[in-house]
Amino acid sequence: MTSFFAGQGSVIQNMVHLTPREALDAIGRGALLVDVREDFMIEMKVMSLPEILFLPRSRFTELYEGLPRDRPLILADCVGLYSKEAVAFLLAHGFTEVANLNGGISAWEEAGLPVTVDPDRLWTGSCMCQLRPRRDS
């Protein structure tokens, strides 16, 4: 368990999962948000924060060593699945001050926290197999 995040969020399998409001509070106290979504997802929608580190999942295991070890890290993605895997990976590789944003940017936006959206980059479709950029509709 990490000391920076002690008493916050839910702890499941020795991993801290923060609500969006808990994450925002932790960021205000010095934690860094690491967004592991791919570039095309970030182009559509991003959490509006003064500082975010973008490290796409596709390159995470190759570049994780560049992450700061002197700050608590909160990992985020679309809904919290891949960021949970990234937290587990970091814990297995010696990082201690890490947490997952439970629900990802979807929960962040649902909680009414600041998000910047590029409507021209949003995707649309009636199911996952039919998603396409909205501008191509």
Q: pLDDT, tens digit, for every residue of 5-46?
A: 999 999 998 899 999 999 999 999 999 999 999 887 777 788
As given in the structure block, the two tokens for residue 60 are 């995470």
SS3 46: strand
% the chain with pLDDT above 90? 64
Q: What is the pLDDT of residue 130?
A: 44
Q: What is the pLDDT of residue 111?
A: 94
Residue with the bigger pLDDT between 6 and 118: it is: 6
Summarize the confidence of residues 98-124 as an average pLDDT.
84
Nearest alpha carbon to residue 36 among 48, 54, 19: 54
Asked if 37 and 56 touch (Cβ cutoff 8 Å), the reply is yes
* Residue 63, burial from CB neighbour count under 10 angstroms (0-12, 13-18, 19+): exposed
Residues in the chain: 137
Asked if 74 and 34 touch (Cβ cutoff 8 Å), the reply is yes
Class of domain 10-136: alpha beta
Which residues, at least 6 apart from 55, have a Cβ–Cβ distance to it below 8 Å?
34, 35, 36, 63, 64, 66, 67
